[in-house]
Chains A and B, each alone.
Chain A
Amino acid sequence: MLRDIIQEMKDTSELMIDLAFAALLFRDTEIAEDVQELEEQMDTLNYQAKMTVLELAQEVSREGLLSVLELINATENIADAAGEIASNVFRGEIHPIFKEAMQETEEVVTRFQISEESVLADQTLGELKLATKTGMHVFLVKRSKKYIINPEKNFRLQKGDIIFAEGPPEGKDQLEDLL
């Protein structure tokens, strides 16, 4: 359904931005590769969305369909820009100013490891309600060598997991206190 495709495109583009900054901040080429894979998914979604719009244009009124095309294009382009950000990881070191700046923005990206004693271990993301309790949104979990992108609510954290989250600086402090 067109509605679901647009929704997925917006979610994916925003996920890609979080991942792209995380890739660059933590110099992680695997995350950057994940961004590239998502970029390909976005291309597929983009085609699907446009095909659906063309079909609708034949069947029903064309009224309003231009707005859909404009929105799809913009969302796709935002995703491409996320790809651009991530691709810098494959070049040399970035200036230290970048890391400093990334600590002072209104939304910050952070990563930390779940320790043995952490209250977060063995709980699902749904149970933890980190988003509503700390404002931090977990967009990536690294478990040994595996990367789990955009983990679902029923995802259960384990000790040793490295979680990547994005949110306000106060939320980051609260999250650290939880550990």
Chain B
Amino acid sequence: MDKRPEEMNLKEIFIEMKDISELMVDLAYSSVLFDSEAIADEVCALEETMDELNYQLIIRALLASRTREDAEQISEILNVAAAINDISDHAQNISEIVARDLNIHEVIQESLKHTDEKIFRVRLDEQSQLVGMSIRESRLASSIGVTVIAVRRGKRWIYNPQKRFTFANNDTLIARGTEEGYLILKEIAKGRRGKW
């Protein structure tokens, strides 16, 4: 997020809310899949950002409606935003499983391995073409259908890495995509595949 919520307009806030809620859902399932407290903490932090965005959205919406028609149209944006905010709340409930230190039943991890969209983890080898490449250059999303949602570099986590983010040797990528996408990424990460 480049701007603070109070500097954004209605459209920008809505876009941010939708993107963050989708990121939160992916991260929430990841936190359970990998039993990661660090990821669960990030979901919790994003939830606070969501609350602030939602508040700013309501203020913008109130200021923007001058006529009854305006108000009716904007009320639907508010409805949708409220549902998006709900989704982020429920994502947080998923990550609470980890945050509250509940025992994660193995059936959860098994089922998450069989969904249409999977979340997976790969580590970059030195020989991988991705090392030194930015997310924009890698075109992973549009070439193999894989979205990187988080990167672990040493002890540091980078969530929702931006297009200019550059991969480094030994980075652990948490990504979302199809089974085929995962198999391709695994080959790329090991340096066994140079083109995609």
Contact = CB atoms under 8 A, between A and B. Distances in A.
A55 interface: no
B117 A67 contact: no
B108 A6 contact: yes
Contacts of B73: 92-96
A101 B142 contact: no
A64 B105 contact: yes
B67 interface: no
Interface residues of B, number: 58
Interface residues of A, number: 57
Interface in B87-128: 87, 89-91, 93-94, 96-97, 102-108, 110-112, 114-117
Interface in B57-105: 70, 72-74, 76-77, 79-80, 82-84, 86-87, 89-91, 93-94, 96-97, 102-105
Given A78-B87, A101-B18, A105-B19, A73 B93 contact: yes
Nearest to B178: A131
A67 B80 contact: no
A75 B94 CA distance: 8
Contacts of B29: 10
A6 B33 CA distance: 13
A70 B93 contact: yes
A135 B178 CA distance: 9
Contacts of A2: 107, 111
B111 A67 contact: no
B181 interface: yes
A7 to B, nearest CB: 4
Contact of A67 (B15, B105, B143, B147): B105
B10 interface: yes
A67 B104 contact: yes
A105 B178 CA distance: 21
A91 B75 CA distance: 10
Contact of B110 (A3, A75, A107, A129): A3
A179 interface: no
A5 to B, nearest CB: 8
A176 B117 CA distance: 23
B111 A3 contact: yes
A67 B108 contact: yes
A168 B141 contact: yes
12 contacts: A2-B107, A5-B111, A7-B114, A64-B103, A75-B90, A84-B86, A85-B84, A94-B73, A98-B14, A105-B18, A132-B178, A170-B142
Interface of A: 2-7, 10-11, 14, 17, 24, 63-68, 70-71, 73-75, 77-78, 80-82, 84-85, 88, 91-98, 100-101, 104-107, 129, 131-137, 167-168, 170-171, 174
